[in-house]
């Protein structure tokens, strides 16, 4: 956070995505048409007959699906994928037929749509995780269909006549894709989470973004605001000091991005700086990012929409595309991490009371051994097709025996370098036994924090507990890294903590050998690592672990950081 913004009156606080900052005028996104539930459909200035109403609703669904499909094709990449998923929802048979059944029974179309959409939204919310995040898409389909049925303009983003900060209660992917990017400076929303669609798309587009900003929709159109993703703040009428600080940071960021040298401390201790990806398109965009490879390829991201397990052939094709994009650089492929916050229709166990503690990640090998078999075979085929050798690791390993079984199966399939993720405290505590079975480990600090602190990672209001700075979490990272040093095997970190420049120094000091993060976080982490000696990182790690709270630990580490780095990164 920056001294200029914290606690200042009128400053709106939210959750920042990334580190960038910008100043510009507000453009509020037009919300859904405000129409009564019994609004009548008109044809030629008279109320429509029941048949005409049925036809209007049916064609509205088709038109909305078609227009979203066209936007998806035009957008491509992650935005295109997200829009295709919204289009699929608009084309969904169950949604449309249930609305039509109610309309045919005499219910007004808006009331029928609201009833069915509310029912689906409740189902999605209860399912949690990824499905819960799709509720925004569902409501966006509802708003578009209502507008078409009643002959109103499509809701969404206004035409931007000048570069603006787009502010919305929530921004559906379809709205985000409709943005005139030339004129979008930043995105601010009242709802949404840092792992939701808006945040993912903003990250892909390199736009500063702050979500969960209470009061954002109360900002007047045209008012100048400073949006600071690093601080998670939106400041109306920014003063000269704040503007100057943001200008300075922007200039410094541009310089940081130009440096793509391999990761190393000031005294030359190498720390591989890697990127996290979810699709071949993500891997292709790594181009000039300076990523030395991929430290986490989340393969489940490819199949979130699927109801059937993907075939060996299609998986092999996707994995080969990522290997080709990295052109010989290291790629760590994670086997499917389905369940809990990442439910996959074809794999997740139904009716689990505590899915985060249930049959998720590697444990799916119990009910579905064929999923892992197929995936390892696909990986071996991708290796053969590209002549590049991937590393492979399993998520949610809890015991040395599981690590041994996974390694045996992966090696039998022809994948030579095998590791596991350290996400369960039991594995961190017994890292020596686990490392005896595999070639490397990678710390998933998102889940490690969740399980160490007994705190659901989806509950934003418990963020203080779910903090990788918690000394207990750092103790487990330290135990794992020490076991890695003893065994002479690599220990990486691929959770979000690797993307925090200050935490990255602590991780290096604890003995971690690689850091994997969203590509946008690489320049700041590289800069911080290059400006501290290994000895200083070790001292920072000791200070973080000596503290009795997360906040004290961070403050102690900050006091040991290079003043120039603090100023440049606004730490």
384's CB contacts (< 8 A; 6+ apart) are none
Q: Where are the beta strands (DSSP E) in 34-190?
A: 42-43, 46-47, 164-168, 184-189
Q: Render 140-173 in DSSP notation, one character per residue.
A: HHHHHHHHHHTTPPPPBPPP-SS-EEEEESS--H
- Tokens at 507, concatenated: 């991780």
For tokens 């990182």, what's the residue?
537
Size of the site for ligand PEP (CB under 6 A): 10
Among 228, 282, 292, 447, binds Mg ion (CB under 5 A): 447
Active site residue 368: no
Question: Which of 200/296 has CB closer to ligand PEP?
Answer: 296
Contact flags string 372-411 toward ligand PEP, x per CB under 6 A: ----------------------------------------
Pairing of strands 42-43, 440-443: unpaired
Window 491 to 550, contacts with ligand PEP (CB under 6 A): 494-495
Partner from ligand PEP, Mg ion, none binding residue 140, C-beta < 5-8 Å depending on class: none
The closest alpha carbon to 499, from 479, 513, 519, 480, belongs to: 519
CA geometry: angle at 391 spanning 389 and 396, to 5°? Answer: 155
Contact flags string 125-164 toward ligand PEP, x per CB under 6 A: ----------------------------------------
Instruction: Count CB neighbours of 152 within 10 A.
Output: 15
Distance in angstroms (rounded) separating the CA atoms of residues 366 and 364: 5
Contact flags string 416-445 toward Mg ion, x per CB under 5 A: -------x--------------------x-
Stretch that binds ligand PEP, among 407-415, 439-447, 533-541, 546-554 (CB under 6 A): 439-447
- Tokens at 300, concatenated: 């489940």
Active site residue 197: yes
Question: Which of 157/428 has CB closer to ligand PEP?
Answer: 428
Do 453 and 472 touch, CB atoms closer than 8 A? yes
Partner from Mg ion, ligand PEP, none binding residue 143, C-beta < 5-8 Å depending on class: none
- Nearest distance in Å: CB 447, ligand PEP: 3
Q: Render 381-447 in DSSP notation, one character per residue.
A: HHHHHHS---EEEESS--SHHHHHHHHHHHHHHT--EEEEEE-SHHHHHTHHHHHTTSSEEEE-HHH
- Nearest distance in Å: CB 355, Mg ion: 13
Backbone angles phi, psi at 432, to 5 degrees: -60, -45
Partner from ligand PEP, Mg ion, none binding residue 529, C-beta < 5-8 Å depending on class: none
Distance in angstroms (rounded) separating the CA atoms of residues 422 and 477: 9
- Nearest distance in Å: CB 301, Mg ion: 13
Question: Which of 114/447 has CB closer to ligand PEP?
Answer: 447
Partner from ligand PEP, Mg ion, none binding residue 173, C-beta < 5-8 Å depending on class: none
Distance in angstroms (rounded) separating the CA atoms of residues 430 and 281: 37
Window 418 to 437, contacts with ligand PEP (CB under 6 A): 423
Partner from Mg ion, ligand PEP, none binding residue 425, C-beta < 5-8 Å depending on class: none
Window 281 to 300, contacts with ligand PEP (CB under 6 A): 296, 298
- Nearest distance in Å: CB 421, ligand PEP: 7
The closest alpha carbon to 514, from 192, 324, 276, 298, belongs to: 276
* Helix or strand holding residue 514 (H, E): strand 514-517
Stretch that binds ligand PEP, among 201-209, 278-286, 384-392, 438-446 (CB under 6 A): 438-446
Taking the alpha carbons at both ends of the chain, their separation in whole angstroms is 6
- Grouping H, G, I as helix, E, B as strand and the rest as coil, residue 300 is helix
Please tell me whether residue 337 binds ligand PEP under the rule CB under 6 A: yes
- Nearest distance in Å: CB 30, ligand PEP: 34
Please tell me whether residue 492 binds Mg ion under the rule CB under 5 A: no
Do 155 and 31 touch, CB atoms closer than 8 A? yes
- Nearest distance in Å: CB 503, ligand PEP: 13
Partner from Mg ion, ligand PEP, none binding residue 495, C-beta < 5-8 Å depending on class: ligand PEP
Distances (CA, A) of 363 to 62, 315, 368, 411, 445: 41, 20, 9, 19, 19
- Nearest distance in Å: CB 35, ligand PEP: 40
Catalytic entry in 494, 532, 534, 537 = 494
- Nearest distance in Å: CB 451, Mg ion: 10
Binding-site ranges for Mg ion (CB under 5 A): 423, 444, 447
By annotation, the residues acting in catalysis are 197, 494
Binding-site ranges for ligand PEP (CB under 6 A): 296, 298, 337, 423, 444-447, 494-495
């Amino acid at each position: 956070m920056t001294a200029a913004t914290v606690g200042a009156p009128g400053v709106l606080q939210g959750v920042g995505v990334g580190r960038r900052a910008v100043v510009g005028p507000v453009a509020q996104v037009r919300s859904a048409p405000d129409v009564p539930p019994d609004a009548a459909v008109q044809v030629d200035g008279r109320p429509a007959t029941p048949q005409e109403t049925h036809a209007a609703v049916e064609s509205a669904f088709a038109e909305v699906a078609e227009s979203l499909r066209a936007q998806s094709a035009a957008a491509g990449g992650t935005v295109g994928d997200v829009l295709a998923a919204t289009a699929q929802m608009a084309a969904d048979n169950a949604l449309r037929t249930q609305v039509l059944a109610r309309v045919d029974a005499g219910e007004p179309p808006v009331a029928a749509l609201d009833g069915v959409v509310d029912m689906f939204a409740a189902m999605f919310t209860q399912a949690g995780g990824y499905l819960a995040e799709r509720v925004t898409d569902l409501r966006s389909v509802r708003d578009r269909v209502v507008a078409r049925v009643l002959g109103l303009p499509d809701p969404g983003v206004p035409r931007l006549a000048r570069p603006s900060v787009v502010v919305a209660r929530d921004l559906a992917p379809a709205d985000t894709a409709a943005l005139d990017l030339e004129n979008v400076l930043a995105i601010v929303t009242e709802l949404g989470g840092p792992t939701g669609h808006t945040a993912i798309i903003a990250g892909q587009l390199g736009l500063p973004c702050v979500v969960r900003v209470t009061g954002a929709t109360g900002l007047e159109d045209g008012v100048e605001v400073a949006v600071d993703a690093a601080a998670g703040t939106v400041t109306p009428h920014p003063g000269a000091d704040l503007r100057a600080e943001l200008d300075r940071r922007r200039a410094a960021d541009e310089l940081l991005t130009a440096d793509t040298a391999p990761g190393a401390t000031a005294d030359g201790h190498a720390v591989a700086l890697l990127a996290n990806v979810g699709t071949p398109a993500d891997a292709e965009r790594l181009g000039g990012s300076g990523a030395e490879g991929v430290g986490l390829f989340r393969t489940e991201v490819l199949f979130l929409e699927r109801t059937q397990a993907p075939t060996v052939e299609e998986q092999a094709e996707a994995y080969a595309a990522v290997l080709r994009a990295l052109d010989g650089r290291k790629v760590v492929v994670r086997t499917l991490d389905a369940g809990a916050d990442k439910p996959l229709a074809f794999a997740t166990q139904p009716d689990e009371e505590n899915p985060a503690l249930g049959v998720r990640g590697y444990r799916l090998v119990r009910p579905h051994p064929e999923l892992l078999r197929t995936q390892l075979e696909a990986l071996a085929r991708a290796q053969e097709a590209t002549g590049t050798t991937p590393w492979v690791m399993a998520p949610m390993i809890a015991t040395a025996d599981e690590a041994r079984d996974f390694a045996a199966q992966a090696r039998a399939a022809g994948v030579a370098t095998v590791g596991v993720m350290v996400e369960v405290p039991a594995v961190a505590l017994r890292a020596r036994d686990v490392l005896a079975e595999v070639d490397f480990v990678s710390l998933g600090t998102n889940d490690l924090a969740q399980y160490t602190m007994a705190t659901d990672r989806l509950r934003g209001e418990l963020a203080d507990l779910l903090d990788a700075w918690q000394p207990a979490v750092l103790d487990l990272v330290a135990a794992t890294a020490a076991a890695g040093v003893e065994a002479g095997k690599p220990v990486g970190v691929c959770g979000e903590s690797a993307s925090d420049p200050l935490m990255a120094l602590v991780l290096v000091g604890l003995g971690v050998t690689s850091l994997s993060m969203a590509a946008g976080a690489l320049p700041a982490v590289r800069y911080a690592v290059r400006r501290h000696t290994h000895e200083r990182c070790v001292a920072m790690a000791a200070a973080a672990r000596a503290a009795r709270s997360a906040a004290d630990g961070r403050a102690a580490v900050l006091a040991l950081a290079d003043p120039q780095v603090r100023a440049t990164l606004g730490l």
